[in-house]
């Protein structure tokens, strides 16, 4: 069974006896889109599956990298929890998985997103072994959402992001969540030029709409770096 059929099988098991309309309304999903996925008219891609997991409140990986006896793991499955979508599946064991708080905050891939009120909205389960390999500590991590298209195709609007709040030193080529001068959260990549200056860059190739912003060490110190983006359904 290919990965798309595995995801459909997992989704059907999760929906169970619920009507598609009720399930879609409950989790703020598009019933028409779900119908197309379940009927095989549209594939459920990895990013779309990860976003759907977040909306439904599932442990990360159960849709993006569903378990089968023939394929018990996949490349992304090493990082997040996966288990069989059958009635005898078990929740993550506390000793093996870290539950990372999932916040309602959004980081803007655009001009900025002001979060007036932020609260914890469930958790995503990540394998402790993967966190250890990536040298990430669970107490430093939080999950937020991407907002906007300035980092497309790297990040899509609404995509789930894992932020490491201990990584606040600028590193060239890495993507960070930052607070701009208006206190709004932005998601940008930092680029160190040969001259020693910095560029605050959007990954979107349309530089007319999303131009690079020259910066300096002093300006970066004034901008509060919240943390580095370390995962978005796959390691960045």
Residues 31 and 145 in one domain: no
Judge whether 197 and 142 are in contact, CB under 8 Å.
Answer: no
pLDDT at residue 86, as a whole number? 39
Q: How far is CA 171 from CA 131, 142, 229, in A?
A: 20, 20, 12
Among 14, 46, 78, the domain boundary falls at 78
Give residue-wise pLDDT tens across range 212-225.
Answer: 999 999 898 888 89
pTM of the model: 0.61
Does 236 fall in a domain?
no
Give residue-wise pLDDT tens across range 143-194.
Answer: 888 888 899 989 888 888 999 999 999 999 999 999 888 888 899 999 999 9
Judge whether 177 and 103 are in contact, CB under 8 Å.
Answer: no
Residues 68 and 106 in one domain: no
Residues 181 and 114 in one domain: yes
Give residue-wise pLDDT tens across range 8-28.
Answer: 877 887 787 788 888 888 888
**Residue from 177, 110, 186, 199 nearest 149 by CA:** 110
- For the residues 32-48, what does the mean pLDDT come to? 88
Does 91 fall in a domain?
no
Residues 181 and 66 in one domain: no
The parent domain of residue 27 ranges over 3-78
pLDDT at residue 113, as a whole number? 40
Residues 18 and 47 in one domain: yes
pLDDT at residue 175, as a whole number? 96
Confidence bin at 121 (pLDDT 50/70/90): low
Give residue-wise pLDDT tens across range 58-111.
Answer: 767 777 765 433 333 333 444 544 333 334 444 445 567 788 888 765 565 544
Structure tokens, 101: 């708080």
Among 27, 43, 78, the domain boundary falls at 78
Residues 102 and 156 in one domain: yes
pLDDT at residue 87, as a whole number? 41
- For the residues 39-51, what does the mean pLDDT come to? 86
Instruction: Return the bridge partners of 200, or none.
Output: 190, 213
Confidence bin at 230 (pLDDT 50/70/90): very high
Does 85 fall in a domain?
no
Does 90 fall in a domain?
no
CB count, 10 Å around CB of 89?
A: 13
CA dihedral (65, 67, 69, 73) positive or negative? positive
Q: What's 214's domain CATH number?
A: 2.10.109.10
Does 86 fall in a domain?
no
Name the domain count of the chain: 2
Residues 103 and 71 in one domain: no
């Amino acid at each position: 069974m290919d990965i798309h059929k595995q995801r459909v099988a997992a989704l059907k098991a999760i929906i169970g006896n619920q009507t598609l309309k009720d399930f879609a309304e409950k989790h703020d999903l598009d019933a028409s889109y779900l119908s197309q996925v379940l009927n095989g008219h549209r594939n459920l891609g990895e990013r779309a599956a990860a976003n759907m997991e977040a909306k439904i409140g599932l442990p990360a990986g159960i849709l993006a990298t569903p378990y089968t006896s023939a394929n018990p793991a996949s490349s992304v499955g090493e990082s997040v929890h996966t288990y069989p979508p059958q009635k005898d599946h078990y929740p993550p064991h506390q000793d093996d998985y870290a539950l990372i708080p999932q916040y309602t905050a959004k980081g803007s891939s655009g001009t900025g997103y002001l979060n007036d009120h932020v609260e914890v909205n469930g958790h995503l389960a990540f394998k402790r072994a993967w966190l250890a390999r990536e040298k990430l500590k669970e107490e430093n991590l939080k999950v937020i959402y991407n907002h906007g298209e300035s980092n497309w195709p790297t990040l899509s609007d609404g995509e789930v992001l894992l932020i490491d709040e201990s990584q606040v030193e600028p590193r060239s080529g890495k993507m960070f969540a930052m607070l701009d001068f208006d206190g709004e959260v932005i998601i940008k990549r930092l680029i160190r030029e040969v001259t020693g200056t910095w560029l605050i860059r959007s990954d979107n190739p349309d530089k007319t709409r999303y131009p690079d912003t020259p910066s300096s060490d002093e300006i970066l110190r004034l901008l509060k770096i919240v943390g580095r983006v370390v995962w978005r359904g796959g390691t960045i």
